[in-house]
Structure 1
Amino acid sequence: MNAAGSRAAQGPLRRIVLAGATGTVGRLTAARLAATGTYDVALLTRDPAKAAALGLPGRLVGAEFASPATLRTALRGADALLLVTNDPLRPEHDVNLLDAAAAAGTPHVVKLSAQAVTDPDADDVITRWQRANEERLRASGLPWTLLRPRSFMTHALAWRRDIARYGVVRAVHGDSLNAAVDPADIADAAVHALTGSGHLGRTYALTGPRAISAREKTATLSEVLGRPLVFDEISLDRAREEWRRRLPEVLVEALTLSAERQHRGAKAAVASGVRDATGHAPRSFRAWATEQAPAFTHVPA
């Protein structure tokens, strides 16, 4: 019997829906699920043609987070949902997705949240949004798993152009520590939660193996790339000016408060969530940087 016949004999593939499939974690999760050949992976996207150009693995399904009707159709028959939203100014997105999941009777919702929700001093618009999302999920009656990552290691990719052009990294509070996590570890945790057993009602705090500062990240990138790099600590006022060029003021304030909390040590704690969820140790920043080295040397103009 060929592979297709074998799968048919086993019954239909489990259907896993990814909301937020074009984002960092969504893409990595989609690739991992598709590689198994075991699941029908449905990728929710507002623009399937645009998403197709990204080469995402899986079946593209047109759906709008702001359109409950499209979400109800997309979630019909789903065995699990990875729920990733990215706009704290659009809380109705989570409302609509959870309503659609409840209407479809989705057996399991894995929600990407943030570790900041556990910090009582974190009271910015982004953290309040994530707390509300978690509360909404718990109140929905749907079986759930929460993934709470610390800062993504991929945020360092924002330094690519300055590294390529000037050999410099610019950031605030250069010695403040953050237990940043490789998004690949978040995706691994998501896959285990979506496909494995024993994850219902669990919350996983996802961090790297140790806290690391922007200054140390710069030194690590210098070693990995084999070229001298200079760390330039900028003031918070200057950072705010740069954020204002692309973000509304309410998000500038959220980033400001986040940077200040990190400066006070609120983001340095290391947790066991990656190992608890996946069975493997979290990847180091050096390992991530080594894997991503080409992204720092071949930067689009």
Structure 2
Amino acid sequence: MVGRGGAGGGGSAGGGGGVRVVVAGASGTVGRLVVGELVGAGCYVRALTRDPRAAVRAGVGGVLVRADFGDRASLERALAGMEALLLITSDPLRPDHDERVLEAAVRAGVGHVVKVSALAVTDAGAGDVITCWQRVCEQRVRECGLAWTVLRPRAFMSKALAWAPSVRERGVVRAVYGSSVNACVDPGDVAAVAARVLTTPGHGGRCYELTGPGPVCAREQTRVLARVLGRALRFEEMGVEEAWRLWRGRYPEPYARALLESAERQRAGAKAGVSAGVRQVTGRAPAGFADWARRHARFFG
């Protein structure tokens, strides 16, 4: 266990007497932001990580606790004495990860578990390995015997960071189906919702759908980035075969196929719907892509 944020291994992260929360997946896009929100609110936060040194370099706050989703004993130690759990997992080929964390939470007597899932679970036409995995994970959460809440975000706006190298080097954004739209959401809004749900009553048994304020396509995102950066950018349409080769070179075949199926569903309009979940929980409108781009312009040079 490694103390951070002015806290020792057994102290309060960020001071105050807030809720005692475990964040599983603390080094990820949303997990890191949630830890920051909770620490700022005076909560005692245990941030689970397999590599505390890497988490320190990434700026993860709270009390860093070495734990592995495949190690039941480490999970039980991390969850002992805690009130709430934010559960974020990322490997659709390892469904046992969610199962083991939930088992440890039940044994530790955690009062509330908040699961970050995906909005695609509500799409009857989505049968890819990632979506099916999330459906199974949600079912486990609902049946674990603890009070639960499920967050279902649409794609994160931060996916646009994958374009940063080509924007810096060549002024180009490349994507498949550039005119297809997605009501993508700012990860900061997902984190704000998660922090509120973890620390305030009235969210048990609820599923919140989290989107941005409107659907946007890659071509429009390119135009927005150009305005934010103050320089010309060009969008290039990536062919489906090229996208498949790119994904297949980076990921296991089932995951790559899921990305292809997801792109096809987006082209068919399955990801254009807007939900009010962010406003419902936080009381404010979700950020638009331009807001996200201005806060992350430094990555695009």
Correspondence 1:171-182 to 2 at 5 A? 171-182=175-186
2:68 aligns with one of 60, 64, 71:
64
Shift of 1:55: 2.6
Correspondence 1:103-122 to 2 at 5 A? 103-122=107-126
Partner of 1:296: 300
Partner of 1:25: 30
Partner of 2:46: 42
Deviations 1:225-277 (A, max 9, x none): 00101110111110011111211111111001000000000000000010111
2:95 aligns with one of 91, 96, 100:
91
Call closer, same or farther: CA 1:278–1:13 in 2, change over 3 Å: closer
Partner of 1:162: 166
Call closer, same or farther: CA 1:17–1:252 in 2, change over 3 Å: same
Output the aligned Cα RMSD.
1.5
Q: Following the alignment from structure 1 to structure 2, what is the Cα–Cα distance between the partners of residues 163 and 11? A: 43
Q: List structure 1 segments (4+ residues) > 6 angstroms apart after TM superposition.
A: none
Shift of 1:289: 0.4
Which SS does the other structure have where 2:296 is aligned? helix
1:201 aligns with one of 186, 199, 205:
205
Q: Following the alignment from structure 2 to structure 1, what is the Cα–Cα distance between the partners of residues 203 and 48? A: 23
Q: Following the alignment from structure 1 to structure 2, what is the Cα–Cα distance between the partners of residues 50 and 208? A: 31
**Which letter does structure 2 place at the counterpart of 1:291?**
R
1:247 aligns with one of 233, 246, 251:
251
Task: Tell me if the contact between 2:19 and 2:199 (Cα under 8 Å) persists in the aligned partners.
Answer: no
Which SS does the other structure have where 2:250 is aligned? coil
Shift of 1:11: 9.3
Shift of 1:54: 2.2
Which SS does the other structure have where 1:181 is aligned? coil
Shift of 1:12: 5.7
Which SS does the other structure have where 1:18 is aligned? strand
**Which letter does structure 2 place at the counterpart of 1:14?**
V
Q: Following the alignment from structure 2 to structure 1, what is the Cα–Cα distance between the partners of residues 18 and 195? A: 15
2:266 maps to 1:262: yes
Percent identical: 53
Deviations 1:103-154 (A, max 9, x none): 1111000100000000000000000000000001111111001100000000
Call closer, same or farther: CA 1:11–1:216 in 2, change over 3 Å: closer
**Which letter does structure 2 place at the counterpart of 1:23?**
G
**Which letter does structure 1 place at the counterpart of 2:182?**
N
Q: Following the alignment from structure 1 to structure 2, what is the Cα–Cα distance between the partners of residues 289 and 13? A: 32
Q: Following the alignment from structure 1 to structure 2, what is the Cα–Cα distance between the partners of residues 75 and 53? A: 24
Which SS does the other structure have where 1:245 is aligned? helix
Shift of 1:49: 2.2
Call closer, same or farther: CA 1:212–1:12 in 2, change over 3 Å: closer
Deviations 1:195-222 (A, max 9, x none): 0111111111000000000000000001
Could you tell me the TM-score, scaled by structure 1's length?
A: 0.94
Partner of 1:146: 150
Q: Following the alignment from structure 1 to structure 2, what is the Cα–Cα distance between the partners of residues 110 and 184? A: 16
Shift of 1:13: 4.8
Shift of 1:224: 0.6
Aligned length: 289
Which SS does the other structure have where 1:240 is aligned? helix
Shift of 1:52: 2.0
Which SS does the other structure have where 1:269 is aligned? coil
Q: Following the alignment from structure 1 to structure 2, what is the Cα–Cα distance between the partners of residues 12 and 267? A: 40
